[in-house]
Amino acid sequence: MPAKAGIHPRVVMPAKAGIQNRPQDILDTSLRWYDNILERFGMSSAEHRLLRQTLQNFVAKEIEPGALERDQKEHFDLNLFRKLADLGLLGITAPEIYGGSEMDAVAAVITHEELAYSDPGLCLAYLAHAMLCVNNLAVNASESQKKTYLPKLCSGEWVGCMAMSEPDVGTDILGMKTSAKRIDNHYVINGRKMWITNGVLDASGKPADITYLYAKTGEQISTFIVTPDCEGFSVGQKIMGKTGMRASSTAELVFENAKVPVENLVGEEGDSIKHMMRNLEIERVTLAAIGLGIGKRCLDIMIGYANERKAFGKPIAAFGQIQQHIANSYAEYQAASAYVYQTAQSDMSRLNSDGVKLIAAPMAKKVADSAMQVLGGNGYVSEYVAERLWRDAKLLEIGGGTLEAHQKNISADLLKRGGFESCGDRF
């Protein structure tokens, strides 16, 4: 089509941050770099390397091409999500006997970092399924519940979510209002859950196949497995207009005298704190890993652009202030990366899972901001990717615990222990 009169087609820079054609030698260097860092922490393995390599190929071929469109259309692509099952990722930490891949937390970090390199929104949907729902069930559910639910969740036939937050309660989660009362062979559940990733799966309002739900039984909190056939359970609203993470769907869930069979109680009544504590660490470490993916991609974007873009007769990479963006971003990414991998390998305590998210979330936002700055006007438009990642990064400072909640937890833990040297978590 000829350009409309008076409107010139925008000139697009060659380094449009695409990853489909990343040269193999660069990918090999990157894999060697990860081998070194993992080895230094005693966690190198052929399995981890193969996982990263497989993911890099899959991401370039399957995920990157539609990432921009999914963001623009606020579209969760269920078919694409299900392809992750072919790589054994949907039950990455679940035992093999239930169809999982039985891999470790380092593998979960690698997966989240590589998926988020291209599409943090899709990666958030993955996290909600694989970490918040599947891993939770694998750790806390009974044998019979695992046998019933895990194979279908690991194969991608079913998609899961976890419902904890409410319209009036997030950080202060023990103050949740949703209640469950046992009547004969059922629990009757009343209340609303808010911000639930994967809470709705498509435009028709189809709910998740499994909702891992927290509700109050008296003063204590209990955990339930809710399926779509449960009478009185529905999707309240699909939440549109999110700043970022728009390739994931987010919903409000409604429970109006919802009848959940007693066999869907996970553990005993009042066990939820135990359940949350057993799963919280991997949730936060993998959220931090999404920050690593964003940081790494933004570094690639700004380095590629700085070498190509010219001003005052030279590449902008020649200017000290541009170098400062690149150098600071690199060092901050490396620091966060070392802390995340070390924590995943050796110390999944609350202290450090709060710590890695407190560091990696602002790092991701800051590095994305630097990438936008290096790209100038091009940084402000979606084709160059950095602005999407900058919007996605903001969620990491809120979801899965706000920065303030992490600060509160870390200081509480350290103060209780009486000092840093005695905390036992020093690397």
Q: Which residues would be at the binding site for ligand FAD (CB under 6 A)? A: 128, 132, 161-165, 170-172, 195-197, 242, 245, 250, 395, 398-402, 404-405, 408
Tokens of 326: 């690149």
- Nearer to ligand FAD (CB atom), residue 239 or residue 381: 239
Q: Which amino acid is at 265?
A: L
Beta bridge partners of 161: 211
- Nearer to ligand FAD (CB atom), residue 211 or residue 329: 211
- Nearer to ligand FAD (CB atom), residue 26 or residue 412: 412
d(C-alpha 208, C-alpha 233), whole Å: 11
CB 290 to ligand FAD: min, Å? 12
DSSP 71-128: HHHT---HHHHHHGGGGT-TTTTS-GGGT-----HHHHHHHHHHHHHH-HHHHHHHHI
- Nearer to ligand FAD (CB atom), residue 125 or residue 302: 125
CB 232 to ligand FAD: min, Å? 20
DSSP 309-324: -EETTEEGGGSHHHHH
State the pairing for strand pair 314-315/310-311: antiparallel
CB 256 to ligand FAD: min, Å? 19
CB 397 to ligand FAD: min, Å? 9
Eight-state DSSP code of residue 387: H
Q: Which amino acid is at 388?
A: R
Quick check: is 397 catalytic? no
Q: Which amino acid is at 29?
A: T
- Nearer to ligand FAD (CB atom), residue 36 or residue 72: 72
Beta bridge partners of 260: 187
- Nearer to ligand FAD (CB atom), residue 120 or residue 379: 120
d(C-alpha 299, C-alpha 98), whole Å: 39
Q: Are 16 and 384 within 8 A, CB to CB?
A: yes
Point out the residue whose Cβ comes nearest to ligand FAD: 170
Cα 398 from chain centroid (whole Å): 12
CB 420 to ligand FAD: min, Å? 22
CB 287 to ligand FAD: min, Å? 10
Helix 386-395 to helix 120-127 angle (10° resolution) is 30
d(C-alpha 233, C-alpha 226), whole Å: 8
CB 61 to ligand FAD: min, Å? 27
- Nearer to ligand FAD (CB atom), residue 132 or residue 294: 132
Ramachandran sector of residue 312 (left: φ over 0; alpha: ψ -120 to 50; beta: rest): left
List 166, 252, 281, 283, catalytic entry: 283
224, 214, 228: which is closest to 173 by C-alpha?
Answer: 214
3-state secondary structure of 2: coil
Eight-state DSSP code of residue 166: -
Q: What positions carry a catalytic annotation?
A: 283
